[in-house]
Every structure is written in C-alpha cells, then in structure tokens.
Amino acid sequence: MAKRIVIDPITRIEGHLRIECEVDKGKIVNAWSAGTMWRGIEKILEGRDPREAWIFTQRICGVCTTVHAITSVRAVENALKLEVPMNAQYIRNMIIAAHGIFDHIVHFYHLSALDWVDIVSATKADAKATAKLAQSLSPWPHNSHGNIKGIQDKLKSFIATGQLGVFGSGYWGHPAMKLSPEVNLLAATHYFQALDYQRRINKVVAILGSKSPHIQNLAVGGVSNPINPDSQSTLTLERLFYIKELIDEIGAFINDVYMVDVSAVGAFYADWTQYGAGVTNYLSVPDMPQDTTGTLFDLPGGYIPNGDVGKFENIDSFGADLFKNNVKESVKHSWYEGEWDRHPWEEETVPKYAERQDDGKYSWVKSPTFKGKPAQVGPLANVLAMFAAGHGPTKKHATRVLDLVSQLAGTKVGLGALHSTIGRHAARAIRCAVLNDVLQKQWQGLVDNIGAGDYTTFNEPVFPKGEIRGVGFHEAPRGVLSHWVVIEDGRIKNYQCVVPSTWNAGPRNQNDELGPYEASLIGNPVADPEKPLEVLRTIHSFDPCLACAIHMLDSDRNEIVKVRTVI
C-alpha cells in the first residue's frame, strides 16, 4: 500500500510550497504541488498609473528583486510601442546579468548544495588530501591547505556549540549521501567563499540600480541614471571601471570554482541523471536586447516540445506572436472563482478557498500552459534553447561542463543527461558562465556608446485615450517571467503576472496533466519516507521561490494587522 508523505514547507528560505507524494515500493507514484498563500498584487495594481507598476511588482519578492521591475516596465513599453535608448538597454542588461549570476551562485551553494553535501562528514576529512584534490581540478588560488583547514576548523567549532543554525535541518549521514569526506570539505569550503562572491557581484546591481534589494533606477521609457563624464554625481568612468573589476572577479569564481564543483557533484551522483526529467516541453524567452525596439537579442529563447532540440521554435522579438498568443492559465485546480482556462489579458483574480481535494482544487498557484501543454521553465530550458539556436558561448560552456563530468565519471556524458534533477544544476552553472560573458559585453557596449557621445537614457511615455494592451517578458534566474497589462485611459484596468515558479509549481491543468514539479517526482527513489531527501533534491533543483505569494489589501485602507517584534 502506498504511503503518503507531506513536506511543508519544502523551500529553504521562502516557505509557501507544500509537496505531497505517494511512495510505493521505494518509489514515488503520485505527487501534488501546492502554493499555500495567495498573491494579490494584481488587485493592488487595478486603477493605478502604469508608470508606477514596477515599483509595486518588484516587492512581490525579496530574492528576485529586479526581475519584476524589469518585466513590468517592458510590459507598459510594449503596450505603448515605446523605444528604449541603447544606454538604458545596456544598463538594464548589466543589472539583469549581475542579478542572475548572484542568484545562481546563491541557489547552488546556499539553497541546494546541502542536499548533496554532508557538512558533518567534512569535519572528518584530511585537509591536505582535500587541498591536493582541489588543486588537481582547478587553478583557483584559494584552494590552499591553509584556507581549507581554516574552514574545517571553523566548522568543527560551529558544530561543537550544538547550535547548527542553517545546517540544523540537514539529513546528515543519510544513505543517499555519497561524497567522500574530502569532497564534502571542498564543497563546504566553497560554500563559505561563495558568500563573499555573491555579495561582490550584487554590488553591480546596487551601483547601477542605486539600491539592492529593490532597484530604484527604472522608468517606463528607460532608466534614471544620468550620464555626464564631467560630473562626479552621475554614472562616471570611475564607477564603470569599478564595475569592470567586480565582473572580472566573479568570472574567476564561476569558471574556476562553480563550474568545477557542479561537474564534480554531477559525476559522483551520475545516477541522478536518470531521475527528475518530468515535463520536457521547455519554454524560454530571448533577453539582453541589443537595439531600441526589442528585435535583436544577445541571448536567444524559444520553445522546445517533448525535449527534442531539433524542433526548437525561436521567439524573435518582444512582440512575437509565438509567445503572445500561446500562453494561458487554468484555475480548474486552483483556489479561484470558476474553472476557466484563459489568456492572461482575459483573466481575473477572484480568490475562492475551499477544502483541499486530490482531484479538485488544492493550490493558490494557477496552472500555465504553452500551446495548451504544461511547460518547464528555468536555466535548463534556456540553455537547451540557446544550444539549439547555435549560441556560441552556450555551446562552449556546455561542452566544458559535459567534458569535465565525463572525465570525472569515467564515462561519456552527453547533452541528454541534462534532462534530469542533476542536469538542472549543470544547466544553471552553464547559464551563469554565459551571463558573465554577456555582462562583459554589455559593459563594453555601454562604454563605447558613451564614448561615441550618446548620453541619452530616457524616452518620455505618452498614454493615449482608450484601451491598449502590452506584455513584457524576461528570462529571469528561475525562468520565463511575463507581465500582462491592460491600460484604459492611462490607468491599469487589468494586470497579471505569470511567474517562473507558477510555470513549474503549478497544479494539474485544465486537462488534468501534472505540473512540472509533480511530473518530475514520479519514479524518484525514496530510501526512507521519514527522511525524504530525494524529494528535496528534485524540487530544489528547480530553485523554487513561492514569494510571488501573499499581499494583503483593505480597499477602505484600514489597518489589517499590526506586528510587534520583541527583542
């Protein structure tokens, strides 16, 4: 008889996701993914000025702090058919790339590596042997015996206090943990180093965006960064060259540490290339626009049905019909009024909670589809699309990772291995390296454009009478993010956010097909239902973030709740 297990919350830093599974004979045979809080940002935006929507939407999340702002201004610009100056495109692109790098590093080291790395085992390692292993894999200068021994001593003293903090909830000693103490110590060393490097690359976001989290420099029509080489209070060459220094530093960490660590984990856990594929319809969107109208991009995107990269369909512009006409969301299994399946411009946001039912409504997350089918989004979808499109940097970094995994595993590992739980981690590392290449290119583009005498950063929007509609999309760290806006007489009439974790965490759709999280769990092994580490591995490989969740509003503007913190 199947055993039902429930993990709630399943996310490490942001906990509105509940996973239920049925396990029979050591394998998962059924699964349900449920968002347990309501996102009401759409209701808050009704009737507001479209120029201020980005300020509200970026507060959806404290992790994805730039992505909703970028997507929101793109949606309004799309509705107005408003061009964006090249300097603004370059500045936005640099923020996007820096934020993506920051997010991917944090995800691997601080949000999911602990599913594969046994921190307690690292204290038993031979530090000298660990340093020798590390130096055989990479020229990273901080792989010395002294650095590694220092981290091991810090871990021992930390554990001796008995207060494990973020390490307290790990399944240490679980039979599914396979790494040797030396490999565990190496990964733990880089865990601590990654804390510093994610901070450094986030400085790029803060310098260009004036603040992080939640940038302050965006505007419908461009950015608010003034450019004047003769004024120290603007975006000067001094600041730009400091940004270049930060980009170079993070590039070394990505190439010499992150990609090597992911390859090593992938090689030691090669059996996990057989689990977690789930939905293999992949959707991504192009990004890093290289013109003022959004028709030329540095990073391609598109749709791949049934995992067949030979059937890749390119999305070629911000206004592409392929994307605009094929997105729908269903609420058949979600806690909203009705059982409709609609295009985002035609949706409504009317919550209606009921008792949870396996075959009925069981989640606050809606269920998106592309061309009527569920689709997986995220770095894996993006890397496969860029690979299919013949994107040079993607092919270079993907080849390097797959060759290194093959060398360490002692067997040839090809692109097909990416359709898996561990493959999503490899794809994220590949995309991180691609983003660093792109960041370098955007920096040079901005410097050259300023050098050519172009200081423009803003085109003023003008709102017509009557109704206009727009969609903005962005390839965010967790995948395709789109905002859909209907504007009437200069005010927001309808606003819908279709976010990456909605694509992946969505419940069963209008045709009762499983969402990507749910489908990816089917067939996963579970050695101990009381310690379902394997479920965490597959769900965390998507980088779930359900923060696009709850906001409370009283239309009469009364105070709803007061929270008092006592220290």
Q: What tokens appear for 224 in the block?
A: 């608010």
Q: How far apart are CA 520 and CA 529, in angstroms?
A: 17
Asked if 127 and 152 count as a contact pair (C-beta separation under 8 A), the reply is yes
Choosing from 16, 68, 425, 428, the catalytic residue is: 68
Q: Is 21 a catalytic residue?
A: no
Choosing from 21, 432, 497, 548, the catalytic residue is: 548
Asked if 456 and 90 count as a contact pair (C-beta separation under 8 A), the reply is no
Pairing of strands 313-314, 302-304: antiparallel
Measure Cα distances from 537 to 282, 316, 436, 464, 529 in Å.
20, 34, 26, 50, 14
DSSP secondary structure string for all residues of 299-323: E--EEEGGG-GGG-EE--STT-HHH
The alpha carbon of residue 427 and the mean position of all alpha carbons in its chain are separated, in whole angstroms, by: 12
Residue tagged 């003034």 (tokens): 226
Q: For residue 350, is it left (φ>0), alpha (ψ between -120 and 50) or beta? A: beta
Choosing from 64, 329, 508, 537, the catalytic residue is: 64
Q: How far apart are CA 154 and CA 135, in angstroms?
A: 21
Asked if 439 and 51 count as a contact pair (C-beta separation under 8 A), the reply is no
Choosing from 16, 20, 22, 61, the catalytic residue is: 61
Q: Is 478 a catalytic residue?
A: yes
145-160 helix and 127-137 helix, angle to the nearest 10 degrees: 130
Choosing from 121, 334, 406, 501, the catalytic residue is: 501
Q: What are the residues facing 497 on neighbouring strands?
A: 483
Q: Is 64 a catalytic residue?
A: yes
Choosing from 74, 419, 428, 478, the catalytic residue is: 478
Choosing from 21, 432, 497, 545, the catalytic residue is: 545
Asked if 76 and 56 count as a contact pair (C-beta separation under 8 A), the reply is no
Q: What tokens appear for 3 in the block?
A: 């055993």
Q: Is 14 a catalytic residue?
A: yes
Sign of the CA dihedral running 34, 35, 38, 44: negative
Q: What are the residues facing 274 on neighbouring strands?
A: none
Choosing from 14, 22, 42, 329, the catalytic residue is: 14
The residues, any chain, with a CB within 8 Å of residue 64's CB and separated by 6 or more, are 103, 476, 477, 478, 545, 547, 548
- Residues marked active site are found at 14, 61, 64, 68, 478, 501, 545, 548
